[in-house]
RNA sequence: GGGCCGUUAGCUCAAUUGGUAGAGCUGCGGACUUUUAAUCCGUAGGUUCUGGGUUCGAGCCCCAGGCGGCCCA
């Protein structure tokens, strides 16, 4: 936006020349006090017949932002770049802390260093200034600036130019203060990145909405926010290490798909201009990973994003990270054991223990073998009456009503059993538990149990009451698979928008022969939730939110 | 989709029955060479989410909407 003073259309006048000069010279600060302290624009309007420039949006900025912008301009006017390309940092703050962990108070080491950090606290006095610098991981170190080391000009510039939140460079000697605080005593300092916005109060929690909408600010002020990011990275890395240690190959399969499949979920749609066709964001990588197994990638995994066009709450996000892995010659028995190991190895890698401390301070034990509950038997126990794959829909509906549920009248046997089970059993599970042998009807891509009619070789893993993962002995008979998918497509045509589409290419792949295989899907965000006790929006760095 | 609650200074929050919108931190000016959320003195900062309505007068009451949270389906 054009403004007088830096736009040729609005040449400098004596009035704004003097204002500019005053701002550029710290010596004149006291003389300039009144004009800088007033609410008036620092750019006086000229009394001429030339058009008045349109009001700059900056004139409407809150006072504190305006002040910081003025400081930036003052630095520029004085020939100092508030955003230099390069600074001569010699050590991180953490390196200095590590190298001088047990110095006595009031010690001078003689070591000269250059350090950088964001100014988090400032304690300025007349001739000696203290500042707490912080670097990315939260490590803090004190900077000290004294009159006799940096000189009057640099000290005065420090006091007038530096605000909380600014990045600065400090060159000087590593010392400890009289109180014993490890510090760098400056002989030189400079601005490395001027912050134009004031930091929130460092000692009060940000409102949850602000934490999510402005995660960058959350990360600046809250150690826990920084820790969560690192915990998540550690968990993902541990997962990859576990897979690599077992000979798995990581692949990346399409997120833009012409058909959506692999799960019962509503997809997002998008559009390809070049292909002139609608595309779907994937709801699951399953059908592509199975193509991989057909092709001979016998141990294959993918960690990446799925998108489901559904609402969000404390356990759901429309965009979430998913782990899926498939292994030839594995079954739902062997992949349950491996899934348990993956979780336990992640806990060990990140926390050094399989007993994790949740965010509310309670401990959660992931160690050892985990409970296994067959679905029909555990539901029968909870009802006090036997329920089997042959139990009729009417009787199931009666049980549902007797237990305070009002299931959709359209629900069939399978979904009724699952709803009843979730209500009577699932909601009360706390310890890690595998629930096995689901109704065939609700598991279209799973093979029938090898010996028990009416159930599928499928398990769900419940941890702290929510579903963390699901595993199968995969259905690999291409003829049966075609029947199941055709039925799904029929449901879709009938208006069930969670049903899958018929993927002829996937069926063609299966017709080449897929070895007997086990497959597992696990929510990565949910794994974080399980290990930390956080809500899903705390485990995702930038969750989807409505625009402000 | 329904119900309830919230939305006030840069941030975190107050504001009696409807009667001049306040505090702390932050900012600005001043003092201070060993501070640790420094301290002391002074001072500035507001479209009370938006739009309508009632009233002599609305942050507060009414209507509609936005955003967020919680509970329910």
A146 CB less than 7 Å from any atom of strand B: yes
Which bases of chain B are under 7 A from a protein CB atom?
9-13, 24-39, 43-45, 66-71, 73
Closest CA to A171 of A140, A137, A145: A145
Whole-number pLDDT of residue A61? 67
Q: Most confidently modeled of A4-8, A51-55, A344-348, A397-401? A: A344-348
A160 CB less than 7 Å from any atom of strand B: yes
List the structure tokens of A319: 């965009």
Residues 6+ apart with CB under 8 A from A410: none
Which positions 348-387 on chain A have a beta carbon less than 7 angstroms from any atom of strand B? none
In the predicted structure, residue A468 carries a pLDDT above the cut 50:
yes
A358-390 pLDDT, tens digit per residue, is: 988 889 999 999 999 999 999 999 999 999 999
Distance, Å, A381 CA → B58 C1': 61
In this prediction, residues A5-9 reach a mean pLDDT of 31
In this prediction, residues A425-444 reach a mean pLDDT of 89
A277-311 pLDDT, tens digit per residue, is: 999 999 999 999 999 999 999 999 999 999 988 87
The nucleotide whose C1' lies nearest the CA of A129 is: B35
Distance, Å, A103 CA → B21 C1': 52
In the predicted structure, residue A467 carries a pLDDT above the cut 70:
yes
A200 CB less than 7 Å from any atom of strand B: yes
pLDDT greater at residue A324 or residue A537 = A324
In the predicted structure, residue A51 carries a pLDDT above the cut 90:
no
Whole-number pLDDT of residue A444? 74
3-class SS at A307?
A: strand
Distance of CA A352 to the CA centre of its chain: 22
Sort A29 into a burial class: Cβ within 10 Å, 0-12 / 13-18 / 19+.
middle
Whole-number pLDDT of residue A25? 31
pLDDT greater at residue A370 or residue A317 = A370
ipTM over 0.90: no
Report the C-alpha gap between A262 and A326 in whole angstroms.
13
A191-247 pLDDT, tens digit per residue, is: 999 999 999 888 888 888 889 989 999 999 999 999 999 999 999 999 999 999 999
Distance, Å, A547 CA → B7 C1': 16
Whole-number pLDDT of residue A192? 96
A178 CB less than 7 Å from any atom of strand B: yes
Which positions 53-82 on chain A have a beta carbon less than 7 angstroms from any atom of strand B? 62-65, 67, 71
Report the C-alpha gap between A507 and A483 in whole angstroms.
10
Whole-number pLDDT of residue A11? 30
Q: What percent of chain A has pLDDT over 90?
A: 63
A159-181 pLDDT, tens digit per residue, is: 999 999 999 999 999 999 999 99
Residues 6+ apart with CB under 8 A from A102: none
A197 CB less than 7 Å from any atom of strand B: yes
Report the C-alpha gap between A212 and A199 in whole angstroms.
16
Q: Label residue A487 by pLDDT band (50, 70, 90).
A: confident
Whole-number pLDDT of residue A12? 30
- Which backbone phi and psi does A416 adopt, to 5 degrees? -65, -45
In this prediction, residues A2-25 reach a mean pLDDT of 31
A121 CB less than 7 Å from any atom of strand B: yes
The nucleotide whose C1' lies nearest the CA of A182 is: B36
pLDDT greater at residue A454 or residue A337 = A337
- The rounded radius of gyration (Å) of the Cα atoms in chain A is 32
Whole-number pLDDT of residue A60? 56
Distance of CA A457 to the CA centre of its chain: 33
Whole-number pLDDT of residue A332? 96
Distance, Å, A546 CA → B12 C1': 24
List the structure tokens of A112: 């000269």
Which helix (H) or strand (E) segment holds residue A437: the answer is: strand A433-439
Triad A206, A208, A214: Cα angle to 5°: 75
Distance, Å, A150 CA → B11 C1': 33
Sheet of A371-374, strands arranged across: A249-250, A299-307, A319-328, A517-523, A466-473, A455-463, A433-439, A371-374
The nucleotide whose C1' lies nearest the CA of A146 is: B33
In the predicted structure, residue A511 carries a pLDDT above the cut 90:
yes
In this prediction, residues A421-427 reach a mean pLDDT of 87
Closest CA to A295 of A517, A482, A509: A509
The mean pLDDT value of chain A amounts to 85
Q: Label residue A28 by pLDDT band (50, 70, 90).
A: very low
Q: Label residue A103 by pLDDT band (50, 70, 90).
A: very high
Distance, Å, A84 CA → B56 C1': 61
């Amino acid at each position: 936006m054009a403004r007088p003073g830096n736009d040729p259309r609005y040449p400098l006048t004596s009035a704004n020349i003097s204002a500019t000069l005053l701002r550029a010279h710290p010596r004149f600060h006291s003389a300039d006090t009144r004009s800088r302290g007033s609410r008036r624009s620092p750019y006086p309007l000229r009394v001429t017949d030339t058009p008045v420039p349109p009001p700059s949006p900056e004139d409407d900025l809150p006072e504190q932002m305006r002040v910081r912008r003025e400081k930036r301009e003052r630095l520029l006017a004085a020939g100092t770049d508030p955003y230099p390309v390069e600074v001569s940092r010699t050590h991180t703050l953490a390196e200095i802390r590590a190298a001088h962990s047990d110095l006595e108070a009031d010690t001078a080491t003689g070591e000269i260093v250059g350090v950088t950090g964001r100014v988090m606290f400032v304690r300025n006095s007349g001739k000696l200034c203290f500042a707490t610098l912080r670097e990315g991981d939260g490590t803090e170190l004190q900077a000290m600036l004294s009159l006799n080391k940096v000189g009057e000009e640099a000290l005065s510039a420090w006091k007038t130019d530096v605000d909380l939140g600014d990045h600065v460079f400090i060159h000087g000697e590593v010392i400890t203060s009289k109180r014993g605080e490890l510090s760098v005593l400056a002989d030189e300092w400079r601005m490395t990145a001027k912050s134009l916005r004031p930091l929130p109060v460092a000692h009060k929690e940000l409102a949850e909405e602000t934490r999510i909408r402005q995660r960058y600010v959350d990360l600046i002020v809250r150690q826990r926010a920084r820790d969560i990011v690192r915990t998540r990275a550690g968990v993902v890395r541990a997962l990859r290490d576990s897979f690599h240690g077992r000979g798995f190959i990581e692949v990346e399969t399409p997120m833009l798909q012409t058909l959506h499949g692999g799960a019962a979920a509503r997809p997002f749609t998008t559009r390809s201009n070049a292909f002139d066709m609608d595309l779907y964001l994937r709801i699951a990588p399953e059908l592509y990973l199975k193509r991989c197994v057909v092709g001979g990638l016998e141990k294959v995994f993918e960690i990446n994003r799925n998108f489901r066009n559904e609402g969000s709450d404390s356990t759901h996000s429309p965009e979430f990270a998913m782990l899926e892995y498939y292994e030839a010659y594995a079954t739902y028995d062997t992949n349950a054991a491996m899934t348990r190991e993956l979780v336990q190895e992640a806990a060990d890698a990140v926390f050094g223990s399989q007993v994790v401390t949740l965010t509310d301070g309670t401990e959660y034990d992931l160690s050892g073998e985990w409970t296994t509950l067959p679905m029909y038997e555990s539901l029968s126990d909870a009802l006090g009456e036997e329920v089997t794959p042959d139990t009729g829909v009417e009787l199931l509906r009666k049980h549902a009503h007797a237990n305070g549920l009002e299931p959709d009248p359209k629900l069939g046997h399978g979904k009724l059993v699952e709803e009843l089970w979730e209500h009577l059993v699932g909601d009360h599970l706390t310890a890690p538990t595998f629930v096995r042998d689901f109704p065939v009807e609700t598991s279209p891509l799973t093979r029938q149990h090898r010996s028990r009619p009416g159930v599928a070789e499928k398990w769900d893993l419940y941890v702290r009451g929510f579903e963390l993962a699901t595993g199968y002995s995969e259905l690999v008979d291409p003829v049966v698979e075609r029947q199941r998918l055709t039925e799904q497509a029929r449901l879709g045509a009938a208006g069930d928008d969670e049903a899958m589409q018929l993927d002829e290419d996937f069926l063609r792949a299966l017709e080449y022969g897929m070895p007997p295989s086990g497959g597992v899907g696990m929510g990565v965000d949910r794994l974080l939730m399980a290990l930390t006790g956080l809500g899903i929006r705390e485990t995702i760095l930038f969750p989807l939110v409505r625009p402000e």
